[in-house]
Structures are given as C-alpha cells and as structure tokens.
Chains A and B, each alone.
Chain A
Amino acid sequence: MNRESLPALIEAVILTARSPVTSEAISMATDREIGEGEIEEAIVALAASWEEAERGVRIEKAAGGWRCVTPAQFDHYLRTFHGIASRQKLSQAALEVMAIVAHRQPVTLPEINFIRGANSAAVTRTLLDRKLVRLAGRKKVVGKPFLYRTTKEFLLHFGLEKAEDLPDPEDLVEAEVIADA
C-alpha cells in the first residue's frame, strides 16, 4: 500500500468507525503491512493538521482510541439543526457519585453513600441509565452489593483516555493542606 495515501486511509477508517479506533486496528486492516507506530504517528500528524485548518471536524483520542468529533463551538447550531432543545445536565449529586466511582472503582453503593453522607441510590440509577457507570459483579461481603465501574461512554463523554487520567485526589488533598496552613 502507498504510504502517501495513509492519512487518507486513516481519515476513511475514523470517519466510518462506530467507536474509537486504535492504531492497532488500522494496522490490522492493512494486513500488518504498516506498523502500529507508524500509524499512530500519522494519526497524530493528521489530528494536528485538522486542528490547524479550523475545520468542522477534529480527531481526538478518547477511551483508548481515536475518533472524529465536532468542535464544541458549533453545538448551538448543531442542536438547532437536529432539533434538540436542551440537554439533561448532570446534577451535583450525579457528578459526586461519578467522581467517587471514577476514583475508587470498583465501588459499592454503601461505600458511595458513606463518602457522600447521603443516599445515592436514585442518582446511581440515573448514571446506569445514562450508561456512565456499569455493574461489574458483586462484592464478596455480607449482602453481596453490586460493584460499580465507569464505562467507555464515561471516558468518551469526559474526553479521557482512561479513568486514571482524572486528577489524583491525593494531589488535591495536598493542595488543600497548603491552602489551609
């Protein structure tokens, strides 16, 4: 395969893929003719060139792969065009549960309730419905509570490659101590 048409191939794959594409998957599509490393480099270069050109689409890395998204500034027009009035915002409580799950996963509902000091069952249910958290088995303790983890949807929504990319809570604590001292 012609090396010059590699960026075009990558564009074609990323535009038609349903979920984030890894460079490994593209390499496999070329029957391993082109290595992962070379493809990754090409994607990074492609992403940068799209960014520069101020286009209606960007390439971003999320949930371990690359995908094609629109820049945030066109949201208003896109919503008008698609007839979507408003989005359901995540409540403060939902964001707190989200934060707890993201950092302590796998975590049970009683643990979430304890940290928040408030009942979080309904909120957690909403997050399950929105596919931002998922059930990942049960904890082997009395009552066998369900364990919660974040989903791929969560990574995509918050633009993270992996859950660990969120700031470390310990860093935040240190900042607190310094601020309090």
Chain B
Amino acid sequence: MEVKPDLAEFVPLGPSVELAFFCGPLDLLLHLIRKNEVSIYDIPILSICDQYNEHIRTMQELDLEVAGEFLWMAAWLLQLKSKMLLPRTATEEGDPREELVERLLAYRRVKELASILHDKDLVRQCIWPAGVIADLDDEDIELDWEEIDLRLLAETYLHVMQRFAAAHPPPIQVLPLKYNVQDKMREIYQQITDDDLMPLTRHLNKRPDPEEVVVLIVATLELVRLGAARAEQRAPFSEIYLRRGRRSLDEASFDPNRREDADES
C-alpha cells in the first residue's frame, strides 16, 4: 500500500482512478468505501459497483493480472446492484447487502490486526537474540512439542528415507543375454556354408538391436579365430565379406564346453 502515491505520480491515469496493489477484492472494496466516505453499513452499491468495475478495467488495461477472485466480486456486486434496483418485495427478508457487510467487517478486523502485526514487525525485526551458543551437538537438540508439526515430520521422514536410499543403493542388475554367441556362430557358419559369401556390414546394419550386433561381431571374430571363416575387405570402410575358412566345423564345435578343447588342440 505504501507504493500507492509513487505509482500515482508516474502512471498518468484518469482523476478518479488510482492504481494500488490490493490484497484482494475485499481490500479494494474497503478502499472504495473509505474513499467515498460512506458507511460500511449502508454501502451505495450502484456507485461502488461502477467504481469497482472501473478499477478492474484499469488493472486489465495495465496488463496486471486480474485474479479470478476480483471478477467473482464484480459479479456479486452486479447481482446486488440489480437487486437494489428492483422494488423490494414483502417476501424478501433483510438487506441483500447483509452478507457483504459481514464479510467486509470480518476482513476489516483482519486488516486492523495485520496492521498491528506490521507495526510490531517493524520494531521486532530489529531485535537480535543473544548469540551465545553453548557447544552442544546440533543433532541432539531437544525440540519442543510445539516445534514439531506435520511438515517437520514429513521432512524428517524424507530425510531418513534419503539416507536409507544412499546407504542401500539398488543392486546392479545383470540381465541375461538375449543372444548367444554359439547360436550366432552357427547362424553365420550356416550362411557362409550355404552361400559361400556373406556381406557382414550389410548383415549388421539390418539388426535393430545393438546387443545383437555386438554378439554377431563376437561370433564372427570367434569363427575367424577358429579358422572356420575368412574376412575380406578391399578398401578401408568398405564392405567386409565373410567366406568359408580352411577349417570346417561340426555341430559339436558350437558347444561352449567343447570349444576350450578345440583351442588347446
């Protein structure tokens, strides 16, 4: 609210409109009532409603975000305005403004208290507590019951869980291999036996799964090492062709248990 006079100087507005930052629709309404010097118990709804809407329009023109609650109040005022214009029927009880007055009074009380708190805050924030702190272990500070609320409990719980998670990292999971080197060796051997020639790069490029590509390469290298396949490449980065090697393998050679024997021989 303190910024009001400054802003009124810098923003040229119509004489009837001042820009102020209001804490809500009730705040704005109270301001209008005070400015018009009317009683809170007998609000001239017609003129207040128009002034209220003018304020909202100005806020919109200045691209200030007009919160929904301001618009809701505008609707309420409009409803009251129409009720006030209609002749009062006998069936209707009381003043249609009654609820609004009650809410304004309740809010004015809050504002009053807030201003008392504000004055106290101004003085009290300048007061420093003595900083002498005995050398105690911070972890063991006893908390008053008063200081323990649901939020502190929730924060403490999260803290404990984080510590637990840090102390118990999830185990490294070794997934079983989807492809088997022996199977791939058999597959490649079969193909070069049948076709006598196999373009390796083209074959690898067709595999979408990188894991399969790795297993295929390992299988190829194994076949070449065993002498069952020969790899040829004409120029760097060109296609690698696999051909039959000098050794032929039987089904037993693809048995992982037998291979070690083959190496030794």
Determine if B69 and A118 form an interchain contact, defined as CB atoms under 8 angstroms apart. Answer: yes
Instruction: Determine the residue in chain B with the shortest Cβ distance to A156.
Output: B129
B9-17, B100-108, B197-205 - interface stretch = B100-108
Residues in B neighbouring A158, C-beta threshold 8 A? 117, 120-121, 124
Q: Mark A7-33, 1 if CB is under 8 A from B, else 0.
A: 000000011101100000000000000
Determine if A118 and B127 form an interchain contact, defined as CB atoms under 8 angstroms apart. Answer: no
Instruction: Determine the residue in chain B with the shortest Cβ distance to A73.
Output: B126
With A146-B150, A149-B149 given, name 10 new contacts (CB 8 A): A57-B130, A69-B128, A90-B117, A95-B115, A99-B110, A115-B110, A117-B26, A134-B152, A135-B149, A169-B109
Residues in A neighbouring B120, C-beta threshold 8 A? 158-159
Q: Can you report 11 residue pairs joining A to B where beta carbons are below 8 Å apart?
A: A78-B128, A95-B115, A103-B113, A115-B106, A118-B23, A137-B150, A159-B120, A159-B127, A166-B117, A167-B113, A173-B105
Q: Does B261 contact A (CB under 8 A)?
A: no
Residues in B neighbouring A100, C-beta threshold 8 A? 110
Q: Does B260 contact A (CB under 8 A)?
A: no
Known: A18-B133, A18-B141, A176-B105. Contact between A116 and B150, CB under 8 A?
no
Interface of A is mostly: helix
Interface of B is mostly: helix
Q: Does A180 contact B (CB under 8 A)?
A: yes
Interface residues of B in 65-79 (CB under 8 A from A): 67, 69, 73
- A18→B124 CA distance, assembly (Å): 18
- A136→B120 CA distance, assembly (Å): 25
Determine if A118 and B25 form an interchain contact, defined as CB atoms under 8 angstroms apart. Answer: yes
Q: Mark B185-222, 1 if CB is under 8 A from A, else 0.
A: 00000000000000000000000000000000000000
- A71→B130 CA distance, assembly (Å): 11
Q: Mark A41-68, 1 if CB is under 8 A from B, else 0.
A: 0000000000000000100000000011
Q: Least Cβ distance of A65 to chain B in Å? A: 11
